[in-house]
Amino acid sequence: MEPHVISNVVVVLVLLAGFGIAAFVRRNRMWNDALRELWRRRPVAIVVVAIYAGVALLDSAAWMGGVESGEDVVAAHEAKSVLDRLFLGTQEKSYSAPFADAEFYGGADLAHPGSHPFGTDILGRDVLYLTLKGARVALLIGGLTSLIAIPLALLLGVSAGYFGGRLDDAVFFLISTLASIPGLLLLIALIMVMGQSTFSVCIALGVTSWVGLSRVTRGETLKLRELDYVKAARALGVSQLRILVRHILPNLMHLVIITFVLMFSGLVLSEAILSWLGIGVDGSWGQMIDQARDELTRSPIIWWNILASGTALFGLLLAVNFVGDALRDILDPRTLRDQP
């Protein structure tokens, strides 16, 4: 299957999942009230995250078709996203400062003077375009990796906490072993073995990110399995699987949601660190920051590349952290109990 077809399928699935979650929240009073409270506390942060998500979807929806814009020509067999097509014909020859009329070095006239709000890079590519494309990579790293780490953490943590015995010993040994290995070294080793691709980086981050949530879910499950309604269900002959699905997992969902939001920031930062070390993902903000290191030693310096990518990274992580802190306050029963 062609990459752009897979990308379009993912876009459709994400939109369907969004509509499904919205319908579920609308029917469920508890989650409806929680999201209303979240919107009341952090409307700006939610809007910022939604903008990043919208940009990522625009960069994911792609199709084939010939397009001609200025000096740029897209052949009929080339797949371009909506974002790619919006920035066709913006290529320059080399560096230009934000809103400049001439090249930064040499002073040659630009093909599109004053039309680059974040300037251009050494290849003449619009930095705004590169920055917007980084949103898709960041959300892919944070989202896909979380979809790998969270189910793995739930499977091992809940199983160990509920069944106990040798299974609990084996899982706890695995958790302790992974926790004792420096995370960055393990990440680098996994990426070197699997190859430097987006999917490989996501798998490596997922394998090294599930330990914390697994510990928390194991502890919560140890507590939940001793509650009266769980004991009553076992006494009535309810199957273990049904107890886990109906009584244990629903009481862990607030932890899962909070962990997902807070894990997202750490995963995006981890990818930026990997890019700084030269083993990150192509097109990411971390790679832009890494490439801007040498530009800061030039005279005069090229400052707009690192400013644009750093600001975009900071804006996303700040908004996600604000949403995560608000969700923690709203969904944590202990926090609600302490409120007047």
* DSSP characters over 243-274: HIIIIIGGGGHHHHHHHHHHHHHHHHHHHHHH
**CB-CB contact of 118 with 131 (8 Å):** yes
**CB-CB contact of 157 with 222 (8 Å):** no
Token representation of residue 252: 């862990």
Could you give the CA distance from residue 320 to residue 42 in angstroms, rounded to a whole number?
Answer: 10
User: Tens-digit pLDDT profile for the chain (340 aa)?
Assistant: 667 777 888 788 888 888 888 888 888 887 888 889 889 999 999 999 999 999 999 988 888 765 555 455 555 567 788 888 888 888 888 889 999 888 888 888 888 888 899 999 988 899 999 999 999 988 888 888 888 889 999 999 999 998 888 898 999 899 888 888 887 888 888 888 887 788 888 888 888 888 888 988 998 999 988 888 888 888 888 888 888 888 888 888 878 888 888 888 888 888 888 887 778 788 888 888 888 888 888 888 899 999 999 999 999 999 998 988 888 788 765 554 444 4
Arch. (CATH architecture) of 141-338:
Orthogonal Bundle (1.10)
Could you give the CA distance from residue 339 to residue 89 in angstroms, rounded to a whole number?
Answer: 56
| CA-closest candidate to residue 280, choices 189, 193, 197 | 197
Reduced 3-state DSSP string for 199-248: HHHHHHHHHCCCHHHHHHHHHHHHHHCCCHHHHHHHHCCCCHHHHHHHHH
Could you give the CA distance from residue 290 to residue 275 in angstroms, rounded to a whole number?
Answer: 6
* Residue in this structure with the two tokens 């160990």, named with its chain if needed: 160
Q: At CA 59, angle to CA 195 and CA 110, rounded to 5?
A: 100
**Residue-level length of the chain:** 340
